[in-house]
Amino acid sequence: MSNKLIINDLECFRGEKIIFKRLSCNIESNQTVLIRGTNGSGKTSFLRTIAGYINKYNGTILFNDNDLHHEKSLLSNFQFIGQKNSLKENLTVLQNIEIWKLIYSSKKNINEILEHLDIGSLLNKDINSLSDGQKKRVSLSRLLLSNSMVWLLDEPLVFLDEDKSNLLANIILNHNNGGGITLYSSNTDTNLQYDNIIKMDDYAVL
């Protein structure tokens, strides 16, 4: 399976203020793109715009030659994981995963997902009892439950030590090898491999 994400002359707004402008890039299957930039340069807004959470923008976002602005059904191909874990704190790890499995109509094996993220021992623990790093890994299970081809990860390495970062690196590699595309933001030194880098400061309106 081959996929392509083409972004032409993207200009994003927050209210009436332009956050960034004139951003263009082409990303294909098997590629990972690192997004860097100072605070306020638009890293999160860029990812959220691609994911369909921000609708006020100029320019075009094409997925396999289809304009996302007009073909909203294509947004199911995109999975955004933000800095907030979006976990239900009063439920167990298993209950959270089962909810997402239902939402995504996923037929994927939960045991395999637990193994990939090394969270099997946490299965019956309440989310509010977990460390920040453990919560991050549980949150990342959404990637493996969904069938989305484009992963949009906002600071995914926060709270992950080197070993857990390597787990994520392998997950991304497997995803990309299956025709996937990954974009992730990070302002820290990263051991995640990437093919290209987008420097948001080059496009930011500060």
The pTM assigned to this predicted structure is 0.94
Average predicted confidence (pLDDT) for the chain: 94
Number of structural domains found in the chain? 1
pLDDT given at position 83 = 87
Residue 185 is part of which domain span?
4-202
What is the CATH number for 127?
Answer: 3.40.50.300
For residue 184, list its beta bridge partners. 34, 153
> CA angle 177-134-167, nearest 5°?
25
Low-confidence ranges of the chain (pLDDT < 50): none
pLDDT given at position 85 = 79
pLDDT given at position 117 = 93
Range 127-152 burial, b when 16+ CB lie within 10 A, else e:
beebeeebbbbbbbbbbbbbebbbbb
pLDDT given at position 11 = 97
pLDDT given at position 15 = 87
Which residues 6+ apart lie within 8 Å of 152 measured at CB?
47, 48, 50, 51, 78, 79, 80, 81, 183, 184
